[in-house]
Structure 1
Amino acid sequence: MLCLYTVFGMELRMTTTFPSISISTDRLVLRPFDMADVPAYLEMMNDDLVTAWTESPLPYTQVDAERWVRRIAPAERTQGNGIVFAVTEFLTQRLVGSVRLLNTDWRTLATEVRYITAPWARGEGYATESVLALAEWLFRDQRFERIELRTPADNTASQQVAQKLGCISEGVLRNARIARTRTENGTDGGWTDIRTDLIVWGLLPEDLEGVAEELADAGGYGGPHDWS
C-alpha cells in the first residue's frame, strides 16, 4: 500500500504496509500463520500466563484461533497496522510462540512490538531471539527509527526480554492496562480483571549495536523466565 503526503509543496510517496516475508535465525523461523498452526496456537492461548497478560478472548476457542489465522493476523499487515509472525523452531517446525508489530506510525517510522512464548518452549530464549531478529530486519531493511515495548509492571519475564535487547526504560503509564488474575475459585476456571501499570521501553537502531555479541558471550538468549 502507498500513501501520498505533501512537504513544502512536494508530493512524496510513502509505503504503508510491510512486505509478506519470513525471517530466519539459527534456531527459529518467523513466518505468517497458516491453518496447520491452529491446534498449537489454541493450546498456547489457553495457557494461564498467556490468559493473565494478554487481552485475548476468555476462554479462547477453536473459532477464535481460526479467525486469528484466517482474518485478523493477515489483516494487520494488509491494513498497514503492523505484521504478525508465527515463531517456529527451525528443525521441528513446531509453533513456539508469536511476535507482532502493531500501532505502526509510517510517518515517524515507529512501531510497537509484542510477543508470546508457548508454555512448552519457555526458558529457551525464543522471545529474545525472535524480537532481536525482527528488530534487526526492521531497522536495517525497513529503515525504521524506533520500536516501543510496553510491559506490565508485574510481568518480570517480559521486562527481562526488553533488558536483554538493550531497550531503555522511558517511563510508566499508570493503570494503563487491564490484566487478569485467578479468583479464589480458580480451579473452576474463574478469572477477574485487575488494573496494572505499563513500563514503556524504547529501542533505537543504535541501541542494538553489539547486543547479539553480548548475548552470545553471556551464553545465549535463554533464561528460566523468558516466556513473554
Structure 2
Amino acid sequence: MALISPFLPPGTINNVPQPVLTAKTLSLRPWTAGDTPVVFAAHKDPAIALWHRRRIEGLEESQAVIAQWAGQWEKESGASWAVCDGKGLVVGRAALSRINLFEGDGEVGYWTLPTARGRGIASQAVTALREWAFDAVGLKRLQLTHSTRNKASCRIAAKTGFAFEGIKRSALRHEDGWHDMHLHAAVSATPSG
C-alpha cells in the first residue's frame, strides 16, 4: 500500500482544452498547424539549437513536433504554447515538460526568436506559465535548468522567481559537449497536500 497519495489526480490537466494564457504584452496560445513555418525557422537559429539540442530539418518534421506538443497535453506529460506579441505574431515558445502529477512538479522551458530577444518576452512568458501552473493547475514545484554558459537564461530565472539551487555537473550533452547545468526552482506558496 502506498504511503502517500498522488499530489494531483490524473485528469487535472487534460480535463479541459489547453488554455490561452496572458502576460503583460503577450498571449500564450496552443500551437497550430499554421505555425509550422515559424517552428521550422526557429530551430534553424543557432542559439535555439545550441541550448535546446534540436534542429528541425523540414516542414514535415515541424508539423510532427507541433503534433507531439499537442499529444503531451493529452498525456498530461507536458504543455507547450506559442508566445505571441500584441499583433498575434509568434515571437517564442514557453513550455512545461516532465510534468509529474503524482509529485506535483514540472520543468519550464522557453525560447525566443532572434528578432524578439532583449524585450522581456521570455520573462513575461515564464511568469505567465508559472502563475498558470501554480494557480490553475495546482503544481507544487517547478524547476528551470540551463547551461551554466547561458547567462541570459540565468537572468530570466532570477527575474521570474526561480531561486538558484545548485549546479548539476556534466548533466546535459549538447552538440559541443557536456554542460554543467544551473538548477533553479520555484515553489508554490499554496499549502501542500
TM-score normalised per structure 1: 0.75
Matching residue of 2:35: 37
Matching residue of 1:14: 9
Q: Is the 8 A contact 2:168 2:183 kept in 1?
A: yes
Q: Number of residues paired by the alignment?
A: 186
CA distance in structure 2 between the aligned counterparts of 1:12 and 1:85, rounded to whole angstroms: 24
Matching residue of 2:59: 62
Q: 1:203 aligns with which of 182, 186, 189?
A: 186
1:24-103 matches, within 5 Å, as: 24-57=22-55, 60-69=57-66, 71-89=67-85, 91-103=86-98
The AA in structure 2 aligned to 1:28 is L
CA distance in structure 2 between the aligned counterparts of 1:127 and 1:22, rounded to whole angstroms: 16
Matching residue of 1:220: none
- Partner SS state of residue 91, structure 2: strand
The AA in structure 1 aligned to 2:79 is I
CA distance in structure 2 between the aligned counterparts of 1:82 and 1:11, rounded to whole angstroms: 17
Q: Is the 8 A contact 2:172 2:178 kept in 1?
A: yes
Q: Is the 8 A contact 1:30 1:130 kept in 2?
A: yes
Shift of 1:44: 1.1
CA distance in structure 2 between the aligned counterparts of 1:62 and 1:149, rounded to whole angstroms: 29
Q: Is the 8 A contact 1:17 1:77 kept in 2?
A: no
- Partner SS state of residue 40, structure 1: helix
1:120-135 matches, within 5 Å, as: 120-135=115-130
Give the percent of matched residue pairs that are identical in Structure 1 and Structure 2.
Answer: 24
Q: Is the 8 A contact 1:6 1:12 kept in 2?
A: no
- Partner SS state of residue 182, structure 2: strand
- Name which one, 1 or 2, has greater alpha-carbon Rg: 1
Shift of 1:22: 0.8
The AA in structure 2 aligned to 1:37 is D
TM-score normalised per structure 2: 0.88
- Partner SS state of residue 65, structure 1: helix
CA distance in structure 1 between the aligned counterparts of 2:32 and 2:58, rounded to whole angstroms: 17
Matching residue of 2:172: 177
In structure 1, stretches of 5+ residues that fail to align are: 181-192, 207-228
CA distance in structure 2 between the aligned counterparts of 1:13 and 1:157, rounded to whole angstroms: 33
Q: Is the 8 A contact 2:8 2:104 kept in 1?
A: no
CA distance in structure 2 between the aligned counterparts of 1:125 and 1:117, rounded to whole angstroms: 10
In structure 2, stretches of 5+ residues that fail to align are: none
Distance change (3 Å), C-alpha of 1:78 and 1:194: same
Shift of 1:16: 4.2
CA distance in structure 2 between the aligned counterparts of 1:126 and 1:35, rounded to whole angstroms: 23
Q: Give the alignment's Cα RMSD to 1 decimal.
A: 2.2
Give CA deviations for 1:71-125 in whole Å, capped at 9, x if unaligned. 2110111112121111111x21111000111111112211111001111100111
